[in-house]
Chain A
């Protein structure tokens, strides 16, 4: 079955770049998503990328997709304390017509001053 894997923890200094990595197994994945969860809150969509793209940039966020290796990354430039959160990678495959996502375990990002 589908599987999405992420490292569980990342510590980064304020002002540095953060890179969060994700691997997935479903070769039929069409869209890959990054969600952010701040403490005590639900998930909020940050960005997504279609599988025929290899890069997407949105302000401080850069998403890189290596479809051959089934590897997705999220780079946050100039990381701020407000970026401290859990980041979830999710994928949606073509075999699913309902709109279900497969989520990773989430990466806890801690930004230190």
Chain B
């Protein structure tokens, strides 16, 4: 079974703190993604990575950065946490998709981050 794990299920941080969210996958997937999930807004893509040390901005990258030093690990960094970054953060991974084929993103359980 594909497994995507996230370092914490719940996290409480103070405004201005630097926050690291870690994600690890065990299926040798090329792609990894970070989303945030907010009620009524669904999943919004923050950043994704298609290879080690490679990253691309998603739809809402402001206030976030990422790091991918090893293929299995993708970190999301909040340089200076703010209250509007209180959210559920979901990590996902997938193989690099063949052009004309369905494929699946596999999700971790999520980290609920509260910034006070």
Where the two chains meet, the residues of A that have a C-beta atom closer than 8 Å to any C-beta of B are 4, 8, 30-31, 33, 35, 40-45, 48, 50, 88, 92, 97-101, 103-106
Q: With A45-B104, A97-B99, A99-B103 as known contacts, state yes or no: A105 contacts B31, CB within 8 Å.
A: no
Q: Is B8 an interface residue (CB 8 A)?
A: no
Report the tally of A-B residue pairs with Cβ distances under 8 A.
58
Q: Interface size for chain B: under 10, 10 to 19, 20 to 34, or 35 or more residues?
A: 20 to 34
**A101 contacts B42, CB within 8 Å?**
no
Q: With A42-B4, A98-B31, A99-B31 as known contacts, state yes or no: A88 contacts B43, CB within 8 Å.
A: yes
Where the two chains meet, the residues of B that have a C-beta atom closer than 8 Å to any C-beta of A are 4, 31, 33, 35, 40-45, 48, 50, 56, 58, 90, 92, 94, 96-97, 99-100, 102-105, 107-110
Q: What are 6 A-B pairs at a CB distance below 8 A?
A: A42-B92, A92-B97, A97-B99, A98-B31, A100-B45, A105-B42
